[in-house]
Amino acid sequence: MADQIEIKDLLVRAILGINDDERENRQDVVINLTLETDTRPAGRSDEIRDAVNYRTIAKRVIDLAEQSRYFLVERLAEEIARACLADERVQRVRVSVEKPSALRFARSVGVTIVRDRSDV
C-alpha cells in the first residue's frame, strides 16, 4: 500500500445539479481526497520539491469546483481526480464529493471514486 495524503472536508461553493435553482445558485459542495504517493523522498530530505504539494492540489481543486457548471456529481468527481493525477507523483486518488443540501432528510448525498494513473 502506498503512503497517503488526506485532504478532508474541503468546502467549496459551486454550480452543480440538474434543477433550475441548482443551475442559478451556488451551493455547498464538500470534497475529500486521499492521494496515494511515495512520501519517502520528502521524509528523507525535508524538502517541498520532493513532496506532493497538497496546497497546490487543493487550490487546483477549489478553482475547478468553483468554476464548474457540471450537471452531475459524478462528472465533478471525475474532473477532480484528473486534476489530482496531473501531479505525476500521485499514483492513485480517492475522491468523494458530497452535496449537503441535495436530499431532504439526509445530511448529504455524494459519490466516491478511485482513479489511478492508467485512467488518465
pLDDT value of residue 1: 57
Separation in Å, CA 64 to CA 12, 31, 54, 82, 108: 10, 12, 15, 11, 21
Right CATH number for 3-119 from 3.30.530.20, 3.20.19.10, 3.30.1130.10, 3.40.50.300? 3.30.1130.10
- Cα three-residue angle 16-35-47, rounded to 5 degrees: 125
The whole-model pTM stands at 0.94
* Average pLDDT along the chain: 95
- What is residue 102's predicted lDDT score, i.e. its pLDDT? 82
CB 95 within 8 A of CB 112: yes
Catalytic residues: 99
Place of cell 486534476: 83
Concatenated DSSP letters for 71-85? S-HHHHHHHHHHHHH
Instruction: Say if CB 27 and CB 99 are below 8 A apart.
Output: yes
Cell numbers that stand for 105 in this block: 432528510
Predicted confidence band of residue 104 (pLDDT cuts 50, 70, 90): confident
Mean pLDDT of the region 87-102: 95
